[in-house]
Structure 1
């Protein structure tokens, strides 16, 4: 089992014992948010203070004689103390920080030699100092939702690092020293462009030029932008070094590739076939009308449960019909036919299905006994759709139905009354 899987078993046990309460469940039944009952929270807070398990700054900084392993820094007053934490601090997490003095950052980086977790999520951070390389025990580093633009070269010294979270930061290129992080498991970096939310290029990924094939412990790689690769590596068209390195990451559970060109489809398929543990796959073409050539996978990953394809397909690759564990499927700009849709209807475990400009027909027919377990169906921007047919016995468990805009679809069919489990439309 991976660390994440072990953690999920612990969380499930806490939920089953009602020590943790579930607050948000997604459309396919996965737990997304949890919280504590207020009585349980009081117990946890009280016990944490008693054991000096957590130190909150700047509220209880007066108690310097005690050692806190975990530091929670919450400050809206901009009145930062000069000294927080100590040599025994194992984690530092920041909340609601309006301003972060540079002196404070340097102090944390140079003095907390036992620090294993550093979470700057949402903090007004603009850069990471070279002194970060001194934190040789660091396993978790998050600069999610910050304004950091690049990582220092000293990141290569963090040989114990397992998680590097750059999500929604401004980091788009990585230092070559990244290939020294042999224990890295979770690696996420992308930025959302809120101005082009309906564009295939609404998210900007990271660019990998270094020898990332040495990162063989990687379990999540989200997301890799290939656009610059084509400019510097002409072999990329026919499956150059990049895809050979990618094939070495055999432990991957989650992978996202963006800006893919048609010529590279076969090379990507060859790499994917080596990833026998893959559970989630997201592939985007370089532009909406660019064909995704993904038909050469002869033996798809048997554990694949989430698939998102963004780009022109015309016809679904045959290997998709072999994905018996598939629960989530997104097709965007694919322009598939009614025949492809009918084959998808027999997938035994599909719970979530979203089409965005992904269907080219004038009539959409959901046949009897198709999509037996589907709970969430979203048919968005089907501009050619004129008629929707729902047979009795189809979409029997659908709870959420989303339609439109479909300007030529003048009315819903009366057979929508067959959807006995429908809660929202």
Structure 2
């Protein structure tokens, strides 16, 4: 009935953000209030919020100046703190909220995404029923050791926080399913077209107990080999992100990946743009893999294992330093929709042959500085909608673009002057 519309979908048509009409939104708010399903506070200009009288689900629109009062009979199960941190530069807790968390032992969900806070009080360890905790996009720098008391915690979201290391007590969270611990930032020195990413250090032995873990991104393995070996215990994993990978880690990583029969997304960054990644030991990759992002120099062009990825939808190759044209192999992937090559090829020629890339819709060829010739044969890339090329200072005008009948957007940037003529 189009009550909920897709606002943005990625290149694979997977919805990323949804929206409803303003009028429908008002109806939803009135209905949830009528059914006592959820309350949104404050509903007036009061400077205090009383948690004694609210139902199980609570959304608090608040600024740090407001005071939260909690009573001993509060039965709230879910708290969503909605703030505008752009107008609250001082990272402090709203007055009374730590005490509110301390008293409300029945809480299962605490979502503090974007909240203007810089610490997580140790009282969080008293929320023994907590299953979901989000500190996404806050300035919290450290997780208290009391986190180990949350035996029922299933999701710990630390994305876009300055947390670089988890306490040893994280080992006690045996029911954890989603551990999101990475931070993106733009650094022009690092790359013009890719964001720099940092992960967190995980204590040795933690992954041996996370048998229910489904998402792990990103774990920093630069200074440890123990964590790499422990990855083999994560048989239920659907998303895995690794940063700081070294050449000597290759065999253990490949062995771990082959054990992950449910894996859908694998993202790996080498220690730096010059540290080689050894994936030649990967013989039987998970057939469920849909997204593969390899960031670092590769010793070889996949050794044929990539052709076994019949479900692969997205492939991003960054800093791969490939010497041989990979398009012959990649063009055979039956369901590939998006391909990005960023500093991934050192050769002078690329050719998209007839019948290749039958489902590809998005193609990005970025910073291929040695590339001189790019040709597209008739019958190649039949569904391509978006194509971006640059920066390639030696590239001549590509041949065969006229054969791209579905092409909607062509972006050329930082190209030789010959393109202007």
TM-score for both structures, normalised by structure 1: 0.89
How much has 1:33 moved relative to structure 2?
Answer: 0.7
**Matching residue of 2:404:** 419
- Aligned counterpart for 2:179 among listed residues 187, 191, 197: 187
The answer to whether the aligner puts 1:408 opposite 2:408 as a matched pair is: no
**Matching residue of 1:370:** 356
Higher helix share: 1
The verdict on how the C-alpha distance between 1:385 and 1:102 changes in structure 2, with shifts beyond 3 A counting, is same
Task: Name the stretch that deviates more: 101-110 or 382-391.
Answer: 101-110
The answer to whether the aligner puts 1:34 opposite 2:18 as a matched pair is: yes
The answer to whether the aligner puts 1:22 opposite 2:6 as a matched pair is: yes
8 Å contact from structure 1 (residues 351, 373) kept in 2: yes
**Matching residue of 2:209:** 214
How much has 1:291 moved relative to structure 2?
Answer: 1.4
The answer to whether the aligner puts 1:223 opposite 2:218 as a matched pair is: yes
* CA deviations over 1:99-129 (Å, ceiling 9, x no partner): 6436423212211111111111111111111
How much has 1:75 moved relative to structure 2?
Answer: 2.5
The verdict on how the C-alpha distance between 1:201 and 1:29 changes in structure 2, with shifts beyond 3 A counting, is closer
The verdict on how the C-alpha distance between 1:19 and 1:193 changes in structure 2, with shifts beyond 3 A counting, is closer
Alpha-carbon distance in 1 for matches of 2:324, 2:395: 16
* CA deviations over 1:328-369 (Å, ceiling 9, x no partner): 000001122444221110110000000000011111100001
The answer to whether the aligner puts 1:198 opposite 2:191 as a matched pair is: yes
* CA deviations over 1:376-419 (Å, ceiling 9, x no partner): 00000000011110001101100000000100013232x20111
8 Å contact from structure 1 (residues 314, 337) kept in 2: no
Structure 2, gaps ≥5 residues long: 411-421
Task: Name the stretch that deviates more: 40-49 or 214-223.
Answer: 40-49
Alpha-carbon distance in 1 for matches of 2:341, 2:96: 48
8 Å contact from structure 2 (residues 325, 345) kept in 1: no
8 Å contact from structure 2 (residues 129, 152) kept in 1: yes
How much has 1:23 moved relative to structure 2?
Answer: 1.1
8 Å contact from structure 1 (residues 89, 115) kept in 2: yes
Counting matched residue pairs gives 397
The answer to whether the aligner puts 1:272 opposite 2:244 as a matched pair is: no
Structure 1, gaps ≥5 residues long: 1-16, 230-235
How much has 1:150 moved relative to structure 2?
Answer: 0.8
The verdict on how the C-alpha distance between 1:140 and 1:68 changes in structure 2, with shifts beyond 3 A counting, is same
* CA deviations over 1:75-104 (Å, ceiling 9, x no partner): 24x431331586211111122243643642
How much has 1:52 moved relative to structure 2?
Answer: 3.0
Task: Name the stretch that deviates more: 173-182 or 334-343.
Answer: 334-343
How much has 1:66 moved relative to structure 2?
Answer: 4.1
**Matching residue of 2:150:** 158
Task: Name the stretch that deviates more: 61-70 or 125-134.
Answer: 61-70
Task: Name the stretch that deviates more: 207-216 or 194-203.
Answer: 194-203
CA RMSD of aligned residues (A): 2.0
Alpha-carbon distance in 2 for matches of 1:366, 1:250: 37
**Matching residue of 1:95:** 82
**Matching residue of 1:11:** none
8 Å contact from structure 1 (residues 87, 113) kept in 2: no
SS at match of 2:191: coil
* CA deviations over 1:299-347 (Å, ceiling 9, x no partner): 1101001001011115222211110000000000112244422111011
**Matching residue of 1:288:** 273
The verdict on how the C-alpha distance between 1:198 and 1:412 changes in structure 2, with shifts beyond 3 A counting, is same
The verdict on how the C-alpha distance between 1:201 and 1:351 changes in structure 2, with shifts beyond 3 A counting, is closer
